[in-house]
Each structure stands twice: as C-alpha cells, then as structure tokens.
Amino acid sequence: MGACISKKTKPINSRKSMANIGMRNSLLDRFGATQTKLLLDLYEKHGDQEGLDLKSFTNLMPQITDFPQSIINSVFKIFDIDMRGKITFNNFCVTVSQYLVGHREEKCKFLFKVFDMNANGFLEAKELTEFKKYIKKVLRQNDAVYSREEAEKTIEQWKKITLPELVKWAFEYLDFHKALIPFEVIPSPTSEKEILRELLGEKLVEGEKWYLITTAWLDTWMNYVNFERPEKDYGFEGAQNLESMRSRSILPGQRPVEINNIELQDPYCPLHIREDMKCPENYTAIHSKAWDELFSWYGGGPEFPRTVIKTQVGLELEIHPIVMKIHISQKELRILVQSRHKTIAEVNENISIKKGRLYLVIDDKLIYIPETKTLSGAFGNEKVVKCFFQETIIEESPLLSTFVENTDEFEYGRGENVEYEEDGQWLTGFIRAVTEDAYEIASSWRLKMVKILKTESYRLRKPRRAVITSSRAVKATGLVNLGNTCYMNAIIQSLNNSPLLANFFANGTYARGLNTKSTQGSQGFVSRSFANLLKNLSVGLHMKVRPYEFFNTFSSIFTLFQGNDQQDAHEFLRILLDSLHEDMNRQENSQTKKTITLNDPELEAERQASQDHWEKIQGSIGSVISDLCGGQTRNRIVCKNCKSSIVIFEMIMDLSLPIPIPTPEITVSLFFVPKTLNYCAKYKFRLQKTSQVNDLFLKITKETTLEIDELVFYVRKGKLLSKINPRNMFQYLGSEIFMFGVVNSIIELEKKGRKTLKQQRPTDWRNSIQEGELIDVNTGDEWIVGHVKRVKKNDLEITLERGTGEHAIYDRKTPLIAPFRTHTTHGSNVLYLMVYHRRIIYKDFEFFGIPLLLSIGNWYTFKDLRWTLENIVYSFSSVARILDMFKFSILKNDLSCALCNEKNCSGCEIPSTYAYLDTLPDNILICILWKSFILYKNRVKEIEEVEDISIYKCLEEYGKEENIEFTCAKCSEKSCISKTDIFRLPDLLIVHLKRFRFESNNPIKINNLIDFPTNGLDLSSILARDKKNYEFTQSNSKGNNLYDLFAVVNHSGNVFGGHYTCTCLNESGKKRWLYYDDDQVYELQDDAKEEVVTRNAYILLYKRHRFSSSNIINLYG
C-alpha cells in the first residue's frame, strides 16, 4: 500500500570538502564518451581490482621504459595521487586528462613534475641533466621566427629552473605533442590529425568501401585538431572545399561528440540517406580506413558505407544503392545493400544461393527475375524492393501468406496463456475451451470461468507480462512487502536499475568516499545498509529478499517511516537521496546552503553567481549523488509595485512538474453497463456551458465504443428505473442516469447460444449430425425442438425441449427427425429485461447494487434464462458457484410475482424448464435475491473523462509566471510575480508528476495520462541558459539535453491509499523492461511502451544521452 500526500519532514543540510575536486571534474569532462571507454579498456586489461602497480603501469605505458628507472618511478608517483602504491581508475584518468586534454600550462606542469623527482619545486643537478637530455629531442622545428640553436643555447645556460620559468620558455620553444608522446595512452588531438592526414588523402579505387559522414561533424573535428589543408587531394567530390567549409565559430580544443549522421538518414529507409542531402554541403565521403579510425575514437553512427563503382565518366561513389529484403525461407529474411549495377546472378552469389530463382514481389505476386538482369534494369529507381527466393521453379503465383506483413489479429488456442479485460483491468488466465463463437477462459486468480465472444476479441491479448522464475536472471530478485512498504520497494528497484549509481553502491566503491563524520548525515549507516541491499539484489541467489535491515536502519533515523503506515514514494525518495548525499559529502561538518539569493542583480553578476554556485555543487560542497542527480533552478521574484527583484539559485535533486488541468463548467455522471453484464463503469464527462447533447454523444461513443443506437438510457425514479429519450438527457442532470449496452440483432443473440433461424443443411445432413446440435423431433403428437446430447454410431440421445427435458433414443436414419426449423416455428423478438439485486434487511426486501438490462431472445427457454442469471451472479459474486445462496424470480412493476396469482408472494423461483420466454407478460422485471449480500462484489469502476497531457505541457506549466503573495523588502508590497526556470540539468533526471492536489479543501488525485517519451525527451526548449544553436562539440551538443527513460514508479489507487509498483529498463545484455510488484518480477513482452506509459505513472527516472565523463570515472568501481 502507499499513500500519496507527503508528510512534513525536515531536510538534511550539511556538506563536506575535498580540495580541487571541481577542477578535477572539469578536466575529466573534457574526455569524450569513447575516450573514457578506451581508457577503461586499457585500465582493466592491465590492472586488477585494486588498481595498477608499477609493473602493470609500465606495461600499459610501454614508451616510458626508454626513461631511467628514477623517471619511471616519478611518473608512477604522479599517477598514484593517493599514495597507495596502486593507481585507481579515477587517479589514472585525472592525470591523463592533465596532459592529454589540458591546456599548455597543465601539460607543462605534468612534464615538470615528471623530472622533479624530489618534488621540491626546482629542477636542478641530476634532475636538470635528465630534463635537458630529453627536452632537446622535442624542440620545435626551425621556422621564420624560431631558431632551434637559440633554444638549445638557452637550455645549456640553465643551472636551476622553476615551473613558471619552464612555462614561459616552453610556450616559445617546445613541441608539446612530441614531448608528451611517451605518455600517450590514447591519441591526442595532434595524434589524431597525424593519423588521418594521409588517410584523408586517399583516392578512389574500384570496389573499395567509403563512408558518408556529416560535413558539419567533420568540420568540428577539423577545428578540434587544428587540421590544415592536406598536401594531397581527397579524390572525391567536394573534397577541395573542405578547408573553406570550416566554421571559424568553433574554437580549436572543443572536442566533438560521437559521430552523428542522423540528419542524413532517410526516415522511411534507415539504410538510405535523404534525397535532399547534397555533397559537400550536407555530407562528405571518407575512406573506410579513415572511418574506422574516427569510429574507434568517437563511436556514433549510423553508418552509410558506399562502394566505388566504374561508370562511363570514370570512378565514383554510388550514393543511392538499392536495399533488397530477400525472404530465403519462412523464418529467414536477409537485408542487403547492393549496387544497382550488379546482376541478379551476382546477388545470388552474395547470399550463397546456388540453386533456385529470385522472384520480385509486386502486388502480392511473385514475378521471376532473369539472372542476367541488372538491379537497375529490374527495379528502376526503387529504393527498397521485396524479393522471395524459391528453390523449385514456379510460375507467377500469389505470394504465400507466410511472407505477407503480419496483422494484429490473433487466433488463440486451447491451453494458451492470455490476458483478458474485466472491469477495466487486464487479468491473467488461460484458454480452457474454444467454441465456434467464443473463448472460455479459466481465471488464474479465482475459481471462475469467463466467456468472451470472438466478436469481443479486443478484450483478449497475448500476455504482456511473463513471470520470471529464475533468480539467475539479472535484476530479477523481488522485494518482500514488510507491511505497506511497497513505496520503498518500488524506489529501491528503480535505483537498483539506475546507470552508474547501482553498481557504485553494490560493488562497494562507495566506501572510498564515505563520510562518517558528518553531523548532518547518518554517519554512513543508511549508505552501508543501502549498499548491502543492492548487493543482495544483484547476486541473484534468491527469488526474493526481505529488506528488514535497510528498513529498520532507515526508519530508526527517519522515524516518520516507522510502523506500517502508508507513505508517499516521492517523499521517501527525496529523503533517501538527501541522506546518501550527506553520507558521501566531500565536506565533513561545514554547512553550505543549497540556495543563494541575489538582490536586484546585474546580468553579469547573476551569471557569475550561478556559475560559482554550480561549481561548488559539483565540487567542494557536493557528493557523487549531487554530481549525478543534482540540477540547478533559478527563481526570479519581481515586485509589481517597485519592480525590484530577487533571484534565487537552488540545487535540486528532482523536478516536480505541475499537471495543467482545465476546469470544466459542467460535469455529467453516467453509469454504463456493457452487453456482457460483467461490470459497471461510472463515467464523469466534462462539458462546457455551450456544449450540446451531440457533444456528449461523441464522448459516450468514444469511451464505450458503442454507437448511441446500441445503448438504452434509463433514469432512476424511486426504487426502479424509467426509460428516457437520450436527447432529453440534460433534463435529468443530478439524477442517476444509466446507459445499457443492448443487442439489437437476432444473429448476434443466436451467437450467445440458442438458435431460432432456419439453417442451411446439405442433403446428407444425417451423416453430419454432431453433439450439441438442435434438430426437429416428431414425438407422435407434435414436432418439437430436440437437443442432441450424445452420438453413438447411428444412435442419437436427444433431450426433448418440453417440460423439464425428457430423453429419448432415435436412429440416425429415422424419419422422425428433421433439420432444425423444418417443422417447428418460433418467435424472433428480442426481450429487454431489467435485472435488479435484492436483499432482506429486517425482514423487508431492499434493492441494492447496480441494475442490469438483459438482452435475450423470446425463443430462449426459462432454463436458458436461469443459466444466464447464474453467470451474472458469478460475475458479481466474491465466491464460486454456491447457487443455494441466491434466488431468481420474476416480478411485475408493482413488485408482485409474475409467475403466480398469490397476492403475498414475493417472487416464485424461476423454473428450470424448456418453456419459452414468449409466454412472459409485458412490464416485468427480474430480481436476484442475495441471501448473503456480503457476497456481492461492487464492480463499479469510476472513470473520469481526462485528456491525455504531454509532458512538454507540464514543463511549460512549470516555467510559467504566477502571482504570489510575497512581501517586497523595499516597498513592503505583497503582490509579486514569480517565475522558475531550469538552469542546469543532471545526468540522472528524476521527474515527479504532481498528481495530488486540493480542490475545495479536498484532496484529489489527477488520473490523466501524462504522455512522456521513452526515448529522446528533449529539454532544450525549457532550459533557460540554452544557446539554441547546436553544434557537434561536447559543450554545445543537443545530446546534452536529450534523455532516455530507464524507470517509472507507478501508483494505483487514490489519495488515501493504493499500491506502488515500478517498471525498469534492464540493460544487462539484451535490453528488456521489467515490472516489479513487491516480490513478483515480470518481463514485459513485445512493445512495452503501452505498459510503461500509463495513467499510474508517478515518478519518471531519465538518463542523459551523454553522461558527464567525470561521473562515469568517479563512480567506476
């Protein structure tokens, strides 16, 4: 269970310190994602769990072996920042960043420390000798303003040198690239340039592969490495203009993000580029060797390989080849990108087909293609073609249905697991039997049978959730509910699936930065307990874990959560993150505010204050939690009177979004009972004052999926219901109005069981008589309807439908039987019978529950009526078939018995006979007497008409101006305007949807579906400091503002209680969505979005497209 309204709690406020952490993070963030992965691969290849020792470090950096051992030891000490004798991954990356992506001052500082072996701040004596010996090898080459001899002369004059002196000299004489080559573990910008210089000069060779790449991205890379015009021509169209296309707005040193060719991609065929893409404006071609190098450094895509072909005008790249989808067999489909100049025979060779023919699929027919034809001759300018390979030669023929596009319609078989819709919910069961017109489903959660007509197959679907039965499945361990702790379980499972954070705690890395001295944290107790719980969830030893230790630890510190009260998951999440933040804080006891306040700030002062605050959050006053989850908002409050302003910058751990709901002018409540009579829904439709009855009809049709002529409308008048004209519905607002789905068609009623219309039968119909069939039988006195109960060779056991149903045996060939309705006749009218529930209170009869309107044919029997009423009881009863607990009777409108003439009869039991219902009098009603009315299950589902709302609308609402009461410090005016903007975003973005609010002092839950993307949530438009002009650099890439969903915390229920679950994306191996319901874990099947984006979504957890490299490195363990 889970409550939804937060209780007031006092937040934790304290900070820790760590010198230079902000500067270190800034350096680490200069690495790209692929660079970070290359560093990690190198580190894990040579190191162990504890780190790199001197030997493994030397193996990782083999070029330093040319130095004396004393220099090698000095280099090792520089990397071993913590002086542990082992180099951690974090320290390894921090040091590499200084000389690989740092500024020239940082590179000089690294070189100086390499030779300052005694770390006294001077290079002298032996240190200086080694330095002079090395530095002469890495001087710049002579040019117009530089003399190598002069540089060497200066070196010889040195007796002792300091770092500032070295920096001044190095800027003028040193070749930084050469000087740092022995320490390069991954290519520097200059190394990248040198490697690609020759490769970008390659010329076209027939048959070779080249790759298309976005010109803007290549332009960014050239600026990054300060690429000059190569000596050789590129050898492809547009290459001559590469240098002129370079954007001077991109400064050298700004590293590109991953290769991004998305803008080139044809949305209708991902293997093609768009027709409007031009070379060199939009794309450039590079040799496959150059692409391989760039891809190894930057990653990205998508790839567009193209082949060099020979044409009449010479060699050229085939920019628009043809895509072939070839069905090799029923299960095998191959997709090939082929040159249009190839023949069909060459295509067959490519896919290793030796025998058979290739057929083109046109209008679902197979057309043979001669092997001598070229693809351009066979397919013209088509981009994508569908083909079918057949080993045996066939003529033109219809395409086999196996290869036709799949449809969404399914046939379900006996024993198949399914989900069925009941009372607006999807429940699990299996197909127990399949008849000609219906599926009989055995419920897996209660002893009852559910019958769903094939015409209502929309109420059936393949299971969307499959229970995970192996604890070895990654992240498949459930959490036991300790008593209303579903709020905790859902949050823990969501965090356990969070990138970086989960492994950081589960593998024990957190312990390196644990702050047990903070008076504001838990002295590490919450962090340790949290880490132990995540470790238990990750090892996969059990199907479920009881989180007693964590719950007891957490609730002992935060007493609000003691006991079994229902709690708000969002409040628990905020307190947990705040506690973890304090336990990992870099400052021990110093308290620093999460907010800074500025009075009437100038723009530059505001910008600087924001930057200083952010650097502290990401540095000295932060933690790995704030590094990963912390963002920054700006709240500006302006006085309406004097226009003075206050600006407040605040660190946030989550983003609480309001839900914009328009207030309706009229609410119309209607009860709806479907034709199936298995549940009732109470709809609340929202209308405006100008709305007409047709507007209401449209809403009714949309929600019920029934047309108005398929519904009958009633209003309650006293105890009973009275039929009304739906066009006069507005006259009855305020009364209970009911909509009943009815069957108007005789054919549809026949599908429910009993036939009345004559059936077409073959001349040899006697040989095809089957059990369950209706036939006409001559009893000697009359022809009546018989029901074939059993067939045994030529003997037919028939139940005669008269009285209570007598049995007789007839020979299959006897003239006493005939096809159904050959000699018998009967009415074919539809009866609409109102069904009421009754109970006895203090010896008096009382109506209760939801009335129903039963559609039944007058050719049905009393036995059929009883069977139908019994099924209604099973739908509304909380127990299985206990028929002696109910009584079925037929009453007149004055509530007297319609089956007898006794004045004091409260209703005779409906007989189980084969008498037809056409004998019933008019104006009657059916009553079900519940002898124990506590068995009645109220199946009313309240459905409030709500509009789907985009999450972008919520984001707009968050940033809107609002009038607030706030006392101005200057003029004491209380009327102000407040506006909050998102200023900076975290790597892990937690979005809280504010579903709970007060209306007229009453708490309500907003049940609208918030439509949020599972991939590519774009926050560019709402980021206050966004530049809007995106480039391909790490600092100004649109990917910095794009987010992908990885977890959703759901709340079902209302403001007073309910249940929490969560849905999480598991990316260990094959990506899959898992659904956690306390100790039960399910895997979502097929397209999971429908199960992820629901009206119950309460907290959304997103991850940034491109994580900060500092977070990846700092949280590595």
Residue 786 to residue 556: CA distance in whole angstroms = 75
Nearest to 306 by CA among 207, 201, 375: 207
Please check whether residue 8 lies inside any domain of the structure.
Answer: no
Of 416 and 838, the one with more pLDDT: 838
pLDDT tens digits, residue range 1089-1102?
Answer: 888 998 899 999 99
Instruction: For residues 215 and 291, state if they share a domain.
Output: yes
Q: What is the CATH number of the domain that holds 211?
A: 3.30.2230.10
Residue 71 scores a pLDDT above 60: yes
Instruction: For residues 285 and 371, state if they share a domain.
Output: no
The DSSP secondary-structure symbol of 767 reads: G
Average pLDDT over residues 106-121: 90
Instruction: For residues 782 and 901, state if they share a domain.
Output: no
Label residue 3 by pLDDT band (50, 70, 90): low
Instruction: For residues 43 and 76, state if they share a domain.
Output: yes
Please check whether residue 702 lies inside any domain of the structure.
Answer: no
Instruction: For residues 127 and 146, state if they share a domain.
Output: yes
Own/partner pairs for 839-847, CB < 8 Å, 24+ apart? Answer: 839/929, 839/930, 839/933, 839/936, 840/929, 840/931, 845/895, 845/906, 845/929, 847/719
Exposed (0-12), middle (13-18) or buried (19+): which is 890, by Cβ within 10 Å?
Answer: buried
Residue 460 scores a pLDDT above 90: no
Instruction: For residues 198 and 288, state if they share a domain.
Output: yes
pLDDT tens digits, residue range 936-972?
Answer: 877 788 887 777 899 999 999 998 888 888 888 888 8
Print the domain residue range for 371: 322-403
Residue 1093: the pLDDT is 92
Instruction: For residues 160 and 271, state if they share a domain.
Output: no
Instruction: For residues 73 and 163, state if they share a domain.
Output: yes
pLDDT tens digits, residue range 1027-1066?
Answer: 455 566 666 666 688 899 999 999 988 888 889 999 999 8
* Identity of the residue numbered 318: E
Residue 76 scores a pLDDT above 80: yes
Determine the angle formed by the axes of helices 69-79 and 104-115, rounding to 10 degrees.
130
Among residues of the chain, what percentage have pLDDT more than 90? 26
Residue 404: the pLDDT is 36
Please check whether residue 199 lies inside any domain of the structure.
Answer: yes
Instruction: For residues 264 and 338, state if they share a domain.
Output: no
What is the dihedral sign for C-alpha 237, 238, 240, 242? negative
Residue 356 scores a pLDDT above 90: no
Of 245 and 1023, the one with more pLDDT: 1023
Q: What is the CATH number of the domain that holds 452?
A: 2.30.30
Residue 424: the pLDDT is 55
pLDDT tens digits, residue range 484-511?
Answer: 999 999 999 999 999 889 999 998 888 8
Residue 668 scores a pLDDT above 60: yes
Among residues of the chain, what percentage have pLDDT more than 70? 88
CA angle (181, 113, 39) in 5-degree steps = 45
Distances (CA, A) of 1064 to 499, 818, 1045, 1048, 1074: 11, 63, 9, 6, 5
Please check whether residue 271 lies inside any domain of the structure.
Answer: yes
Least confident window among 142-151, 267-276, 339-348: 142-151
Q: What is the CATH number of the domain that holds 848?
A: 3.10.20.90
Residue 465: the pLDDT is 81
The 3-state DSSP class for residue 294 equals: helix
Establish whether the linkage from the previous residue to 280 is cis, with ω within 30° of 0.
Answer: yes
DSSP secondary structure string, 960-1001?
A: S-EEEE---TTT---EEEEEEEEEE--SEEEEEE--EEEETT
Of 438 and 986, the one with more pLDDT: 986
Please check whether residue 1077 lies inside any domain of the structure.
Answer: no
Residue 570: the pLDDT is 95
Residue 1106: the pLDDT is 83
Residue 883: the pLDDT is 62
Mean pLDDT of the chain: 82
Least confident window among 36-40, 347-351, 675-679, 703-707: 347-351
Please check whether residue 336 lies inside any domain of the structure.
Answer: yes
- Alpha helical stretches, state H, 806-935: 862-876
Of 993 and 361, the one with more pLDDT: 993
Residue 292: the pLDDT is 93
Average pLDDT over residues 68-80: 93
Which two structure tokens, joined as six digits, stand for 683?
């709809």
Question: For the CA atoms of 370, 375, 381, 387, what is the dihedral angle to 10 degrees?
Answer: 70
Please check whether residue 24 lies inside any domain of the structure.
Answer: no
Q: What is the CATH number of the domain that holds 109?
A: 1.10.238.10
Instruction: For residues 838 and 914, state if they share a domain.
Output: yes
Residue 947: the pLDDT is 78
Residue 93 to residue 675: CA distance in whole angstroms = 68
Burial 401-422 (b: 16+ CB within 10 A, else e): eebeeeeeeeebeeebebbbbb
Residue 239: the pLDDT is 37
pLDDT tens digits, residue range 195-240?
Answer: 998 888 888 888 899 999 999 899 889 888 887 644 333 334 333 3
Residue 113 to residue 77: CA distance in whole angstroms = 10
Least confident window among 185-189, 214-218, 356-360: 356-360
pLDDT tens digits, residue range 263-322?
Answer: 898 888 888 898 899 988 899 999 999 999 999 998 888 999 998 988 888 888 888 888
Establish whether the linkage from the previous residue to 302 is cis, with ω within 30° of 0.
Answer: yes
529 - beta bridge partners?
A: none
Among all chains, which residue has been given the structure tokens 């046109």? 362
Of 368 and 267, the one with more pLDDT: 267
Residue 515: the pLDDT is 85
Residue 587 scores a pLDDT above 90: no
Instruction: For residues 766 and 885, state if they share a domain.
Output: no
Nearest to 488 by CA among 394, 565, 597, 386: 565
Residue 16 scores a pLDDT above 70: no
Residue 877 to residue 879: CA distance in whole angstroms = 5
pLDDT tens digits, residue range 407-459?
Answer: 334 567 787 888 887 655 677 788 888 877 788 888 654 556 777 877 677 77
Residue 389 scores a pLDDT above 80: no
Please check whether residue 527 lies inside any domain of the structure.
Answer: no
Domain boundary among 901, 918, 939: 939
Count of domains forming the chain: 6
Residue 25 to residue 17: CA distance in whole angstroms = 14
Question: For the CA atoms of 762, 767, 772, 774, what is the dihedral angle to 10 degrees?
Answer: 50
Domain boundary among 939, 958, 976: 939
pLDDT tens digits, residue range 882-934?
Answer: 667 889 999 988 888 888 878 788 889 999 888 888 888 888 999 999 888 77
Average pLDDT over residues 115-121: 89
Residue 18 scores a pLDDT above 50: no
Instruction: For residues 158 and 45, state if they share a domain.
Output: yes
Residue 657: the pLDDT is 94
pLDDT tens digits, residue range 711-744?
Answer: 999 999 888 999 999 999 888 888 899 999 998 8
